[in-house]
């Protein structure tokens, strides 16, 4: 059967996955600390065995009956990367809303191990621990952070937590050497490739600051996503057109070419 319909099928499937990723970005258009996913496509070059066959022509006048396609390109999804650009900061005025500007992540201890997050909507739980909104403790430079009751709780740009001007702990903010290897695990958490701990290094204090009373909005650009959606939709349509055209051609082949007159 026609190679083109198989190629187009690959293309259509890739665009379906692309739409799924766009839908997820849009669904998270209001999720604090969410980072948008981006997709890239690649061609898969397929070379036929016959391409390597020695040319049987020994005479210039001998011609091939049909030009053979040497290379068939099938688009497929190559990679999905997390767009780590800074999201805009929204002021909330809440004491425990912390947003990072610049690279870096907060560390969170969960029953499944340590995770990284950019979502700084934290709380002080009944035991006085600083926790995420799922109740997992946020890690400081030396383990979990306990914030005693006090009149004024402030967090400075370096991540030090002060209660009535006494330092009670420092947030354990880390930078990831290669953010491309980060994987999302849901709940706004990131982990390294294959769930391993990613290689981290201390943050550069001149580039990364902690902002108290702010939350980091997702970096989803709704317009870009909409355009991506139109693109995915239209190319899906184009691929299905290819499938139906090659179907028509196959039909003609079976009905007309084989016809005895």
CB-based contact 33:216 (threshold 8 Å): yes
Instruction: Name beta bridge partners: 13.
Output: none
Return all residues near 93 (Cβ < 8 A) that are at least 6 apart: 213
Question: Is residue 174 near other proteins by the rule CB under 8 A?
Answer: no
DSSP 8-state class, residue 171: B
Of 5 and 101, nearer to other proteins (C-beta) is: 5
Cβ at position 244, least distance to other proteins in Å:
6
Question: Is residue 17 near other proteins by the rule CB under 8 A?
Answer: yes
Q: Which of 91, 106, 95 is nearest to 139 (CA)?
A: 106
Among 27, 167, 227, 253, binds other proteins (CB under 8 A): 27
Among 1, 3, 23, 201, binds other proteins (CB under 8 A): 23
Cβ at position 9, least distance to other proteins in Å:
10
Of 104 and 122, nearer to other proteins (C-beta) is: 122
Determine phi and psi for 177, rounding to 5 degrees. -60, -50
Question: Is residue 123 near other proteins by the rule CB under 8 A?
Answer: yes
What is residue 96's three-state secondary structure? coil
The window from 60-68, 128-136, 166-174, 200-208 that contacts other proteins (CB under 8 A) reads 128-136
**Count of positions (residues) in the chain:** 261
CB atoms within 10 A of CB 216: 24
Q: Which of 151, 107, 149, 156 is nearest to 132 (CA)?
A: 107
Q: Write the binding mask 218 to 257 for other proteins: x where contact by CB under 8 A, - elsewhere.
A: ----x--xx--xx-xx--xx--x--xx--x----------
Question: Is residue 71 near other proteins by the rule CB under 8 A?
Answer: no
Cβ at position 227, least distance to other proteins in Å:
12
Among 1, 3, 16, 254, binds other proteins (CB under 8 A): 16
Among 3, 88, 125, 254, binds other proteins (CB under 8 A): 125
Q: Write the binding mask 41 to 70 for other proteins: x where contact by CB under 8 A, - elsewhere.
A: ------------------------------
Distance CA(230)–CA(173), nearest Å, equals 39
Among 7, 11, 37, 168, binds other proteins (CB under 8 A): 37
CB-based contact 87:216 (threshold 8 Å): yes
Among 7, 11, 75, 119, binds other proteins (CB under 8 A): 119
Distance CA(237)–CA(229), nearest Å, equals 12
Cβ at position 180, least distance to other proteins in Å:
5
Determine phi and psi for 171, rounding to 5 degrees. -65, 135
């Amino acid at each position: 059967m026609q190679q083109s319909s198989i190629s187009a099928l690959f293309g259509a499937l890739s665009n379906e996955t692309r739409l799924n990723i766009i839908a997820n970005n849009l669904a998270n258009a209001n999720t604090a600390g969410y980072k948008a996913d981006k997709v890239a496509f690649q061609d898969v070059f397929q070379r036929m065995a016959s391409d390597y066959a020695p040319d049987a022509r020994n005479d210039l006048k001998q011609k091939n009956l049909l030009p053979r396609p040497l290379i068939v390109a099938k688009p497929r999804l190559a990679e999905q990367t997390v767009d780590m650009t800074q999201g805009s900061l929204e002021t909330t005025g809440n004491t425990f809303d912390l947003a990072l500007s610049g690279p870096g992540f907060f560390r969170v201890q969960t029953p499944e191990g340590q995770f990284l997050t950019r979502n700084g909507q934290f709380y002080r739980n009944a035991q006085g621990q600083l926790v995420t909104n799922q109740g997992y403790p946020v890690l400081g430079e030396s383990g979990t952070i306990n914030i005693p009751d006090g009149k004024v709780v402030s967090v400075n740009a370096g991540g030090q937590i002060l209660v009535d001007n006494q330092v009670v702990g420092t947030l354990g903010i880390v930078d990831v050497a290669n953010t491309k290897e980060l994987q999302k695990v849901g709940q706004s958490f990131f982990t390294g490739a294959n769930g391993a701990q990613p290689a981290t290094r201390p943050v550069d204090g001149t580039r990364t600051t902690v902002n108290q009373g702010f939350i980091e909005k997702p970096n989803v650009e709704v317009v870009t996503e909409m355009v991506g959606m139109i693109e995915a939709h239209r190319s899906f349509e184009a691929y299905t057109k290819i499938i139906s055209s090659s179907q028509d051609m196959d039909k003609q082949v079976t009905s007309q070419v084989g016809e005895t007159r």
